[in-house]
Amino acid sequence: MSQQVFELLILGSSSASPTSERNPSAQLLNLAERYFLIDCGEATQIQLRKFKAKIQSIDHILISHLHGDHFFGLPGLLSSMHLLGRKQALTIYCPKELKPIWDLITQASDTRLNFEIKWHFNCNDGLKLLFEDDKIEVYSFPLKHRIFCTGFLFKEKPQLRNIDKWQLEKLNISFAEIHKLKKGLDAIDNDGNIIENKKVTIDPPEPRTYAYCSDTIYNEKVVDYLKNVTVLYHESTFLDDKLDRAKKTFHTTAKQAATIAKLSGSKKLLLGHFSARYGSLQDFLTEAQPIFENCELATDGKKIKI
C-alpha cells in the first residue's frame, strides 16, 4: 500500500527583508490532501501562483508570530481568496493580536468576505492540539523569540495494518473480520477458524512527523517537542560567526540548528530564514553538516517529501 502524501513546498526562505532570490517566510504543507499554509510573508500569494499551488485548497493557515516577514502577505491572500469566489471556511491559527489588525483593514476597505474565518488564538503553554481528524494531528509548541512565537508539529496518525493480499485470497472471511485484522486483532473466518493477525498482515508505514521552528533563539528546551521527528525545519538566520547578532536578535545559527536536530533525534534537517546579507547559502550546509549530516537548504520553490 502506498503512503499518503506528506509534502512540503517552500514559498519563502528569507528573514526580515526579501532578496531577489528569496521571499519572506511561507511554506505549504500537503498532509493527506489537507493543505496547511505555514506563515505568510509578503507576496506569498504570488509565490503560490508561481509554483502552481492551488490557493483555494488551503483550509488552514498557521502564523507563528507577528513580525511582518511572517504575516504581511496574509491580508492580500485572504482578499484574493474572496475575489476568486471562495465560499468554504478557513481556519487561522495565530497570535490573538492579528484579528484586530484584520478587522481594521476590512473596515477601512469596506470589505466583507464571502467565506468565514475561524480564528484560533495560539497559546504558549506547552504542546497544544490545534487540529485533528481521522488521519492527522497538528500541534503548536512554544518558541523563544523577541515576541510571542510558536512552532508547529504535524503528525500522521498510525495507519491501519496492511492485509497481505496473497494470503487474503485464500481465506473465506467477512468484511467485518478483515477490519479487525487491519486494526491489529486476530479474526475468525466463515468456517470458525482463528486467523492470526501476524500471518496475514504487514506493518503499516511508520507515522511521519514534520516540525516547524521559526523564529527562535537557540533553546534546548524545544527538543522535548521534537523527539525523533522525520523532518525538522529550523531557522538559521545567521552563520556562527554572527553568533552575537543571533543572540541579540533571538535568532539561531546554522551550527545551533544542527545541534537541535542532533539532540532531538530528527531524521532530516531543513535550514531556512536566511538573513538577506547572505548571497550564496553553501556555507550554511558546510557549517551544519559536520554536526548533523542529513541537512538541506529550504530554498524558494523546493519540494520536500517528508
**Catalytic residue IDs:** 69
- Under rule CB under 8 A, residue 66 binds a copy of itself: yes
The yes or no reply on residue 12 touching a copy of itself (CB under 8 A) is: no
Residue 215 interacts with a copy of itself (CB under 8 A): yes or no: no
Cα–Cα distance for residue pair 301/276, rounded to 1 Å: 17
Closer Cβ to a copy of itself, 95 or 142, answer by number: 95
CA atoms 17, 11, 141, 262: torsion sign: negative
- Containing 166, the helix (H) or strand (E) segment is helix 165-168
Q: Closest distance between a copy of itself and the C-beta of residue 290, in Å?
A: 31
* 110: helix, strand or coil: coil
Q: Among 3, 56, 57, 79, indicate the residue that binds a copy of itself (CB under 8 A).
A: 79
98 vs 200, which CB is nearer to a copy of itself? 98
Of the candidate residues 1, 7, 17, 193, the single one contacting a copy of itself (CB under 8 A):
17
Of residues 202, 166, 152, the one with CA closest to residue 181? 202
Closest approach, Cβ 107 to a copy of itself, in A, equals: 7
Give the count of alpha carbons within 13 A of 152, CB side only: 21
Q: Is 75 a binder of a copy of itself (CB under 8 A)? A: yes
User: Could you give the CA distance from residue 299 to residue 12 in angstroms, rounded to a whole number?
Assistant: 7
Q: Select the residue interacting with a copy of itself from 18, 142, 151, 272 (CB under 8 A).
A: 18
Task: Rank residues 90 and 226 by Cβ distance to a copy of itself and give the closer one.
Answer: 90
Place of cell 496547511: 36
Cα–Cα separations (whole angstroms), residue 214 to 114, 234, 272, 286? 32, 6, 9, 21
Q: Does the protein bind a copy of itself through residue 43 (CB under 8 A)?
A: yes
Find out whether 146 and 161 touch, Cβ atoms under 8 Å: no
Binding site for a copy of itself (CB under 8 A): 16-20, 23-24, 42-43, 45-46, 49-50, 66-69, 72-73, 75-76, 79-80, 83-84, 95, 97-98, 100-101, 104-105, 107-111, 146-147
